[in-house]
Structure 1
Amino acid sequence: MAESRHVLVVGAGSIGRRHHANLTELGARAELIGWREYSVDLLAARLKAGVDAVVIATATDIRLPLIAVCGAAGVPVYVEKPLAFRPAELAAVTEVAKPIADRSMLGYMMRYHPAVQVLATADLSDVFQFALTIGHDVTQWRANWRFSESYAAKAEGGGVLLDLCHELDLAACLFPGLEVTRVESLGHPAFPGVDFASRVSLRWGGVVGDVSMDYLTPQLHRRSVLRGHERMHDFDFASQVYQVTEPSGVRTLDLPLERNAMFLDAMRDFLALVSGQSTSGNPLMPRLDLCLPSARLAAEAWAARTFVGEIVKEIP
């Protein structure tokens, strides 16, 4: 399937390097390009010379012109999340991506997580409340990496809400039609306009919930709790303990995970889209045109942030 596909990976950070390695493993002819050494005009010239697909793994604030060039050339893209950080910019991305949207993907690889697959197929009609949380001390993420020098430290397109928006995407998948009611954020005096902890309050019909993310907690936490009057799902993604509580008792699900398998499965589906072949059948496959409600929720949440305080932790 992928042997004849020439894919440019634009952005040579950790996620770009991962995608490049996975594409190579899947048999594609992958080429890794550091964006600082490139430009929109050079990308346009490369597309004209003949490229099958592009992976965009750059900072969020520069993706619109890249997607526009690919859309004009009819070349499908795999765009890292989030798609855009302002509703107006999202509308512009949506417009320029129309020619390729049904052959492109957004990098919500958590949709391939076995536990997310279980939630996506579960009966959640009785759920009245949910809480999705994720966080970890950002200074511990990677060796020889400084937050202050990263895309995440930028007021335009940075911050924890955008960086850790997979849980917002999960909420959008499980409860389509959610709307943002309030977003409370904590900032840092050294990084104006950047949220280090955010809580997004959401509602839809008879369901209310919160999605919380932070750059602060000393150990990784990632948990989804869905409360219903017939059952409760308590999925701890960090410890990989997944429990369903019902009137008959508690069931613990065995859902083993190899993290890179999610990235590989997502890229395998993308290559299938590029080739016009059958995809995996994942009902949550993050095809770009189908991801727009989720992308819109993230952009609306970012735009609705209200900074209610500051943290004091030193962030190098």
Structure 2
Amino acid sequence: MSSLPSPALRVVVRGSGSIGQRHARVFRQEGAEVWLWPVRDRGLDGDTPALDDATDAHLLDDATGPAALRDAFVVVATDTARHVTDAIEALDAGAEKVLVEKPVAPSAQEARALHEHPRHLDVWVAAPLRAHEAFRHLRRLVGRLDRGGSAHVWSQSWLPDWRPDRDYRDSYSARADEGGVLRDLVHEIDYATVLFGTPVVLGASIATGGPLEIDAEQAATLLWTSVHDVEVTMRLDYVTRPATRGIVVRSPDGTLEWDVMRATVRHTTPDGEVTEQVFDHDLDRDIVMGAQARAALTLRPSTSADERVARGAPATLAEGIAAIRLCDDARDMGVREIDAITDTRPEDGS
């Protein structure tokens, strides 16, 4: 029979799929005592103890909820449709903070119950692109641009390459109610709002057909104007080889380029002088997720936006819902004014 580790360093990961096991490994590398709590039987890595509904009943059932979650840092890495329910269970059981994998819910409406929870300010939403050193460098450069301009953001890849050992048609990505490029690639939407502010006018073209034979959208092209008058275009798709991911920002003050696949940021001044920096650590996913984990453990979602972004922290719950709400609006395939939950641009723009 298992016993509980010290609450101060206890991390419980709900869900033991590939992302759940990666979270477990990363938090363990950060010095936490980590427990996996599988939803269903899976082959585990053997390095992380697992809670079991049968053998650990004393840890999983008491008057207020799962005892193992009390005072712990809880990661919710289950199917998207379960995120809100699992996060609320953790909060009700007394978890100190909760980190929910992206997207926070299939839709903004479905996230409402979590947003209305009395402890919603203790919830993070995973946003590992914010933890890239290259992104934080890019953000500083964007803050120095005096005049607006335009940005093109893209994340394009071939869905069958994501998990070569599994039929992509059986994955959550293929399901219209949980997957699709808008939810899967919501990271791009999130970091673009950090850089340029909340969208106020949105246009979208959504492709549900294509070569993959799935119910979810295979491609989306978005166009929006931000509250800071930056024109943003975005291309997200599952149908491109080889994979490519990045952003180009163009303005009268020069051009900025982030190549996520190469971990480089290039700055071209108005007179044509070019400098390029390489951020090798960004190519190691565990290092990036380690930066996010440290920030999530040591900061709170109520910490100032500038400090959160500078430290590579995840998104707040409000920011996570704002991103998924933009996805909802994009599916309307129209151009209209949209209500934003929050302006996620750092206060001083630096």
Give secondary structure in 2 for the equivalent of 1:161. Answer: helix
Where has structure 1 moved over 4 Å in runs of 4 or more? Answer: none
Encode CA deviations 1:96-123: one digit per residue, 9 max, x unaligned. Answer: 2x4152x432110111111110122221
1:60 equivalent in alignment to 2:80: yes
Structure 1 counterpart of 2:330, one-letter code: A
Deviation at residue 203 of structure 1 after TM alignment:
0.8
Letter in 1 for 2:20: G
Distance 2:7 2:289 in 1: 18
| Alignment correspondent of 2:48 | none
SS across alignment from 1:116: helix
Question: Partner residue of 2:177?
Answer: 156
Work out whether 1:21 is the aligned partner of 2:28. no
- Would you say the 8 A contact 2:299–2:308 is kept in 1? no
Task: Give the Cα–Cα distance (whole angstroms) in 2 for the partners of residues 307 and 130 of structure 1.
Answer: 21
Offset at residue 64 of structure 1 (A): 1.2
Question: Distance between the aligned counterparts of 2:317 and 2:288, measured in 1?
Answer: 17
- Which of 217, 223, 229 is the matching residue for 1:206? 229
- Contact persistence 1:180–1:200 (CA under 8 A): no
Q: Which amino acid aligns with 1:56?
A: V
Matches within 5 A, 1:1-316: 4-36=8-40, 45-47=65-67, 50=70, 52-75=72-95, 76-96=97-117, 98-101=118-121, 103-122=122-141, 123-188=144-209, 190-192=213-215, 194-204=216-226, 205-248=228-271, 249-257=273-281, 258-273=284-299, 281-284=307-310, 285-286=312-313, 290-305=316-331
What is the CA–CA distance in structure 2 between the aligned matches of 1:260 and 1:124, rounded to whole Å? 32
Q: Specify the alignment match of 2:46 in structure 1.
A: none
More relative contact order, 1 or 2 (CA 8 Å, 6+ apart): 1
Q: Secondary structure at the match of 1:88?
A: coil
Deviation at 1:139, TM superposition (A): 0.6
- What is the letter of the counterpart of residue 243 of structure 2? L
CA contact (8 A) 2:134 2:265 kept: yes
Paired-residue identity, %: 24
- Paired position in structure 2 for 1:312: none
Which AA in structure 1 matches 2:30? L
TM-score by length of 1: 0.84
Looking at structure 2, the residues matched to 47 and 173 of structure 1 have their Cα atoms a distance apart, in angstroms, of: 37
Judged with a 3 Å threshold, the aligned counterparts in structure 2 of structure 1 residues 203 and 254 are, in CA distance, closer, same or farther, namely same
Shift in alpha-carbon separation, 1:28–1:241, aligned structure 2, 3 A: closer
| One-letter amino acid matched to 2:119 | P
Q: What is the number of equivalent residue pairs in this alignment?
A: 298
Give the 3 Å change call, closer, same or farther, for CA 146–169 of structure 1 in structure 2.
Answer: same
Q: Alpha-carbon deviation of 1:10?
A: 1.0
What runs of 5+ residues in structure 1 fail to find an aligned partner?
A: 309-316
Letter in 1 for 2:79: A
Letter in 2 for 1:262: V
Cα distance in 1 for residues equivalent to 2:178 and 2:36: 23
SS of aligned partner of 1:65: helix
In structure 2, relative to structure 1, the CA distance for the partners of 1:177 and 1:49 (3 Å cut) is closer
Task: Identify the residue that residue 49 of structure 2 maps to in structure 1.
Answer: none
In the TM superposition, residue 307 of structure 1 has moved relative to its aligned partner by 7.3
